[in-house]
Structure 1
């Protein structure tokens, strides 16, 4: 009798173990299958925050299925129609996903004021006037006591900016010569204020009489202007604020960003194209005159381009009306267009592909990778060339950014910057006037 009971318990134990194994397998399959199911995948793809522009186009939002309702916390901000919203006005609101009246997901929604800009594409000539005078090198002066560089002795480095001499602001190279001559004749030092990075520093410099030409020298190569060519990206028709280039202008010798006092942009005519090859970027060759054909001022030189105000309306012959913009998360991989000049002053439209785009919450360069796909542009330029920087990128009727850099080993491809960061540096803050919904 005891033996029979033992066998029964043993069989029961085996059955229980088998049941546990079956339940474990079922749970394992469920743990794997549930996250891979379409509704769950859709749920995890719903962001915690949505930011969009107020315009005539509907706002697409992720959906989970027919049995799930989506409500808004403020009807004055949005009107709902199935899975599309239409922004009535800018503001902040909340989307709530509900199942049988039970909320399962909340999404913060920000609707920004509609910003429209006129795309550019024009070739422009650029002249910058530096803030103070930029030091670009040292040279030896053949003085009475041998060869030396007074500027180097005074601990003035390449890349420093001379802001003041004897307490007086310096705006051009010509102003320095008179200070040097006066100090040399009375054998006095010059009190120099320099800017190194973000720090201002004081030093003293003693001019040395050069025996070869009997003139007082400071042993520094200096520069107060810089010039080049690029492409207009956009302008805002009401304020006439513009953005161009899509990247900072750096000094050719120091390789450091130029701090500017002011500057000018002018019309430019492309005279020739040097095609790019693997390892060697191509280049636009263009002519322009700073004295003629002025288009506007330059007030800022930043990592996202040059910015200022136009003196008059400009046209590109392609898009005369302002277009809406796309935020970085709205940019899609796939076909797009760029506007640029490859001959004379004629703006042309060419096909490109957005290879990748990063949804950026904070300002950053190189937000997109683009590839030239237009056979005609590839034939004429080999891809992206120097001087094409700033060419506006248009996708689905919206301005999404600008061409910035070429890949040296693949001239058909390069980087692009998102338009929202260029707008911000142009002084067009798309987030500033966003109202808090009550």
Structure 2
């Protein structure tokens, strides 16, 4: 009977530990990393997260061509951990971020071939998109019902090209940030024009306040 009671006590302690760890700042920082990311060959991606005493950060990947690195820096008050990844060739792979060998987050990394133009004996033409911002990933925000992504709920997909928001032409990512931030503060509805496969879609996104 005593042994059974000890086992139950240990089980309760483990459950409580897992519960509190899940709501810790380092874990929440990792969970907020986008689920999908699109990069070019040789491009480096990085995230700054809060360091943790629970265990060391580590990463795993299905493809050895995705090179990862983890560095920790400490200031007078808090420590931060930098997680970086660089893809050496075009491929699709999964990056798993762990704390103390326990998987916390999986990120789908899509790497596109690097575009190169070499001088030659013949003239060439290159078509560039001068308008729009490419959707490379998602960010979740905290709302009254938990973590949500307004973009996912509206049907916006990775690879979409946003050309207008609320009638304003979009050419830089900073424009999107400013408009979405303002709409979130005013609880306004966003009207996004999405140019995909030569067809224009109009989608409404209701941003959540952080």
Q: TM-score range by the shorter chain?
A: 0.3 to 0.5
Using the size of structure 2 for normalisation, the TM-score is: 0.44
Question: Which structure features the higher share of helix residues?
Answer: 2
Task: Give the TM-score, by structure 1 length.
Answer: 0.25
Q: Which has the larger radius of gyration?
A: 1
- Structure in which a larger fraction of residues adopt strand: 1
